[in-house]
Amino acid sequence: MSESGWLAESHRMVVEQLRQRGITSEAVLQAMERLPRHFFVPGHRHRAYDDAALPIDCGQTISQPWMVAAMTAALELKGDEKVLEIGTGSGYQCAVLTLLAREVYTIERIAELSAQARQRVTRLGLGPVHFRVGDGSLGWPEAAPFDAVLVTAAAPRIPPPLLEQLAVGGRLVIPVGEGEVDHLVRVTRERADFLRHENLVECRFVPLIGRYGFPEGASREQS
């Protein structure tokens, strides 16, 4: 894909899928316009800017652009945050976060995906990003607290370690659900002893598999 070709597609994605459908954060719109999304879906480059989730390796998915934008906007990043992402996948969401925060920590349970994502993020010169292979439902206690936590796979309920690792003033965004539909939930730690919960939008994600997620072997229809 030529430089002018993907820039035009990325611009159209931002205008038609994101701005027109209610994403108002200029920082998020700019970050997504300037990132080469096709770089993260080598098997589906021609569909990289489509209004859809796409398959990546190991039976996983890269989320639909609108969902990436909505989740990122919900974190309300100002640029100085330490962010934890659970579910590195292709590395695209992580790359978006690097343009909006100070430092990103990202955990993926599938080693092959983590390695691919690391390669892409490094080749694009983005960062700093810390990669870990493991069960993200446990968080990253040694690096806590985090100003923002983003989970990109659906959990049956909010993993307690992620709440414990959220800084005062911090926001956790996570899809939660056990049935046909998940709800994107935002939890804000307004004070050390007070968490505010908000239901943002209905969604559908691949399962978070781990100690505070679904059991190994769980599968769902779509992300």
Query: How many other C-beta atoms can be found within 10 angstroms of the C-beta atom of residue 217?
Result: 7
Please confirm, yes or no, whether 63 is among the known catalytic residues: yes
Q: For 174, phi and psi rounded to 5 degrees?
A: -155, 135
Tokens (6 digits) for 162: 């992620």
Find the shortest distance in angstroms from Cβ 21 to ligand SAM. 19
Find the shortest distance in angstroms from Cβ 68 to ligand SAM. 7
Find the shortest distance in angstroms from Cβ 192 to ligand SAM. 26
Q: In whole angstroms, what is the distance from residue 165 CA to residue 84 CA?
A: 10
Q: Of 169 and 215, which CB lies nearer to ligand SAM in the complex structure?
A: 215
Q: Residues 168, 154, 84, 37: is their CA dihedral positive or negative?
A: negative
Query: Does residue number 86 form part of the binding site for ligand SAM (CB under 6 A)?
Result: yes
If binding means CB under 6 A, how many residues of this protein chain bind ligand SAM?
Answer: 27
Query: Does residue number 152 form part of the binding site for ligand SAM (CB under 6 A)?
Result: yes
Q: In whole angstroms, what is the distance from residue 4 CA to residue 168 CA?
A: 43
Site string for ligand SAM, 7-46 (x = CB under 6 A): ----------------------------------------
Q: Which parts of 52-81 interact with ligand SAM (CB under 6 A)? A: 60-63
- How many degrees, rounded to 5, is the angle at CA 112 between CA 49 and CA 42? 25
HSE (CB half, 13 Å, CA atoms) of 129? Answer: 31
Find the shortest distance in angstroms from Cβ 117 to ligand SAM. 8
Q: Point out which span in 6-14, 74-82, 90-98, 191-199 binds ligand SAM (CB under 6 A).
A: 90-98
* Burial zone of 149 (CB within 10 Å; 0-12 exposed, 13-18 middle, 19+ buried): buried
Give me the residues that bind ligand SAM (CB under 6 A), please.
60-63, 86-87, 89-90, 92-93, 107-110, 113, 135-137, 152-153, 205-206, 208-210, 213, 223
Q: Catalytic residues, which ones?
A: 63
